[in-house]
Structure 1
Amino acid sequence: MNFKDRIIRATGKKTPFRLIVVDLTETMNEIGRHHNAKGFALKLLAENSIASIFLSAGLKFAGTVSYTTTFGGEITKIQTDSTPMGLVRAMIPQAELQAIGANEPALVPQHVQVVKLNEQGKRVHESIIEAPSVSVGQNLATYLLQSEQIRSAVGIEAQYNAQDPSFLDYAAGFYIEAFPDLEDKDINLIEVIVQNLPKFCDMYKADKGFDLDELLDQLRGPYDIEVVREIDPKPFCPCSKDRMLATLATLPLKDLQELSSENKDLNVVCDFCRTNYTITPADMQEIIAERNKKI
């Protein structure tokens, strides 16, 4: 049974804070199928993607947030790109996915890197912090405090199905941002609300999916909130053959000539959506010809 994914953004009507809740279950199940991701790897993909969505929701322009977590161990990195309109793509190195299957990998968290791009694809912000935990929510809260001086409460959790680890039962999360003028008494109350929040698994029912409205109601506590926007997230990848050709064109001319000398099709797979593009010998010759014109 399919359920509708949602991103709900809200603010306090009289209290200066921002609240976002996300259900990304079906979006991540689709992305997971493209990667053949299972079990813990699928869980990590989903949780990393929710973190990216929380950051892109704060963009003041139609740009992109790239959120990358790096590890020591059997998985080296997870990267998610998302936009303020809920478009998402994510990747884990394919060879590492195939090696671990549905098993839980040995992981040592290393770094979190956040890159913000504007509408033209130019970097307007980049920050790297040491990842204090395997918990994506804790890492995001640490990044926000260290790099953007934002006080926040973050909860992110994805759970894969016990009988079939190739799909998620749920992938959900919340983000509360304290604006600078939020009073200490309200901060303390919000901390109590978060500490007493029901477990995510208790807000999931197999026949109904994850109850995002219940999560929102629990988090608002005694505060009046205004829902600013509700968005339907979806998988999206802007890759194309032209983009792949443009990437190939950045290789050293010697490498391009070696590839061309083999005189056979070259298959290039997008790391994010796993689309396979065929680069023909004629395509390679055209790239080389253009490069020679610039010499």
Structure 2
Amino acid sequence: MNFKDRIIRATGKKTPFRLIVVDLTATMNEIGKYHNAQGFALKLLAENSIASIFLSAGLKFPGTVSLTTRFSGEITHIQSDSTPQGLVRAMIPQPELQAVGANEPALLPQSVSVIKLNELGKRVHESIIEAPSVSMGQNLATYLLQSEQIRSAVGIEAAFNKVDPSKLDYAAGFYIEAFPDLEDKDINLIEVIVQNLPKFKDMNTPEGFNLDELLDQLRGPYDIDIVKEIDPKPFCPCSKERTVATLATLKTADLEDLMKEGKDLEVVCDFCRTKYQITVEDLKSIIDERK
């Protein structure tokens, strides 16, 4: 059996909790190719993206969650954007990513920020907390408790291939949310289930990560309803039009300076690494529209 990337969302039939499991291996391997990401940097990209997906699954409206984890050290930040439909993109500043290569970077966690956008791109929520750890699971659980008063259990793990560090062996995770009326006895039992969960590497097979096993392990004695199953995929909404619109935020004097150079600009998307050629005529059009 060949496993594919999936997001499975479930709720307890009689017990008030929510459960989400994710396999994002192939998606993050594809995103990693865009960036030429390797080793620990690729692992960090994947784990931050899984955390973002857990947050976007909780949106009660069409929109996007942008999760940024900041560090002091060889990598300054990781940003992952995702939607309830399982669309995801991620980035680490390219110079930092290439400088680190496949090596483990020296990192000191600083902060976690979450921005929620509606379908029109308007910010409807913004929050920031001090990051307690390099562990994305611990960071997410802390954010949920501090900023949204949600009790949760989170496990997120990605592992890169030791022979070929440009590929992940797996990138998976789980999220359990306790609804306000979940009884203490059930909370205690769920804690025991999580503590005795098999290691992620033991649920990985030559065919891929066994997400169904993870789900079965986490459900324990509880009956659950599968609410939705989604196939995640990389997606970036960038375009030349959006790139030109971003340049249009520059001051007229700055645009005129660029025009005087008489050369086309090459602008590269931070997320998908797509290159856009912005011509002198494009710059002139922006300036003319202001007159």
The 5 A counterparts of 1:248-267 are 248-267=247-266
SS of 2:126's partner is strand
SS of 1:4's partner is coil
SS of 2:51's partner is helix
**What is the rounded CA distance, in whole Å, between the counterparts of 1:20 and 1:98 in structure 2?**
33
Letter in 2 for 1:239: C
Residue in 2 that maps onto 1:143:
143
Corresponding residue pairs, total? 291
Residue in 2 that maps onto 1:288:
287
Question: Which aligned segments of 4 or more residues in structure 1 are displaced greater than 4 angstroms?
Answer: none
Residue in 2 that maps onto 1:123:
123
Letter in 1 for 2:250: L
Mapped contact 1:267–1:278 kept (Cα < 8 A): yes
- Displacement of 1:235 in angstroms is 0.2
Mapped contact 1:66–1:116 kept (Cα < 8 A): yes
Letter in 2 for 1:162: K
**What is the rounded CA distance, in whole Å, between the counterparts of 1:226 and 1:202 in structure 2?**
26
**What is the rounded CA distance, in whole Å, between the counterparts of 1:151 and 1:254 in structure 2?**
51
The 5 A counterparts of 1:20-59 are 20-59=20-59
**What is the rounded CA distance, in whole Å, between the counterparts of 1:22 and 1:63 in structure 2?**
19
Residue in 1 that maps onto 2:78:
78
- Displacement of 1:254 in angstroms is 1.2
Name the TM-score, length of structure 2 as normaliser.
0.99
Mapped contact 2:73–2:108 kept (Cα < 8 A): yes
SS of 1:264's partner is coil
Letter in 1 for 2:168: L
1:140-183: CA deviation from partner (whole Å, max 9, x where unpaired): 00000000000000000000001000010000000000000000
Residue in 2 that maps onto 1:6:
6
Name the TM-score, length of structure 1 as normaliser.
0.98
**What is the rounded CA distance, in whole Å, between the counterparts of 2:197 and 2:189 in structure 1?**
12
Letter in 1 for 2:46: A
The 5 A counterparts of 1:1-295 are 3-205=3-205, 207-291=206-290, 293=291
SS of 2:154's partner is strand
**What is the rounded CA distance, in whole Å, between the counterparts of 2:289 and 2:158 in structure 1?**
47
1:2-33: CA deviation from partner (whole Å, max 9, x where unpaired): 74100000000000000000000000000000
Structure 1 spans left out of the alignment, 5+ residues: none
- Displacement of 1:253 in angstroms is 1.3
Mapped contact 1:269–1:275 kept (Cα < 8 A): yes
SS of 2:34's partner is helix
Mapped contact 1:2–1:26 kept (Cα < 8 A): no
Mapped contact 1:3–1:26 kept (Cα < 8 A): no
Which has the higher mean CA deviation after the structures are superposed, 282-291 or 128-137? 282-291
SS of 1:126's partner is strand
Mapped contact 2:3–2:210 kept (Cα < 8 A): no
**What is the rounded CA distance, in whole Å, between the counterparts of 2:116 and 2:212 in structure 1?**
30
Letter in 1 for 2:139: N
CA-based RMSD: 0.9
1:43-69: CA deviation from partner (whole Å, max 9, x where unpaired): 000000000000000001110000000
**What is the rounded CA distance, in whole Å, between the counterparts of 2:3 and 2:218 in structure 1?**
22
**What is the rounded CA distance, in whole Å, between the counterparts of 2:207 and 2:264 in structure 1?**
48
SS of 1:103's partner is coil
SS of 1:114's partner is strand
**What is the rounded CA distance, in whole Å, between the counterparts of 1:139 and 1:252 in structure 2?**
38
SS of 2:7's partner is strand
**What is the rounded CA distance, in whole Å, between the counterparts of 1:267 and 1:29 in structure 2?**
26
Letter in 1 for 2:230: I
